[in-house]
Amino acid sequence: MEFILRSFFILSRDDYDKYGNVFFGWDTLYSVSFKGKLNWKQYEGHTSSSLMCDNNENVYYIEDREVTAYALKAIDGKTGSHLWEIYFNE
């Protein structure tokens, strides 16, 4: 499968795991292997925060839900599956 990124509007800072997979995105999050293969893509809402990956390949980020409402979310970096979310207001 060839991976072509058609959107150039990516505001988040990327991160990578210990296997070289890169995680990036804005409204859709992507995981791309160090060889350039698309691992997964997942619509997760708008984020302008940095993505963070832990040693267990979980990816964390903050979703901008409204002007004063945010959600801290975690997804499985291997599959893109949603793990959990915590909502909070400013």
Q: How confident is the model at residue 1 (pLDDT cuts 50, 70, 90)?
A: very low
The pLDDT tens digits of the residues spanning 15-44 come to 889 999 999 887 788 999 999 999 999 887
Domains identified in the chain, total number = 1
CATH code: domain of residue 57: 2.40.10.480
Q: Angle at the Cα of 47 (from 44 to 52), degrees rounded to 5?
A: 90
- Residue 81 counted as domain residue: yes
- Residue 4 counted as domain residue: no
The pLDDT tens digits of the residues spanning 66-79 come to 666 788 899 999 99
Structure-model confidence comparison of residues 89 and 61, the more confident one:
61
- Residue 10 counted as domain residue: no
- The Cβ of residue 59 has, within 10 Å, a number of other Cβ atoms equal to 25
The one-letter code for the residue type at 67 is V
Q: What pLDDT is stored for residue 51 in this prediction?
A: 87
Q: Which domain holds residue 31?
A: 15-89
Q: What pLDDT is stored for residue 47 in this prediction?
A: 76
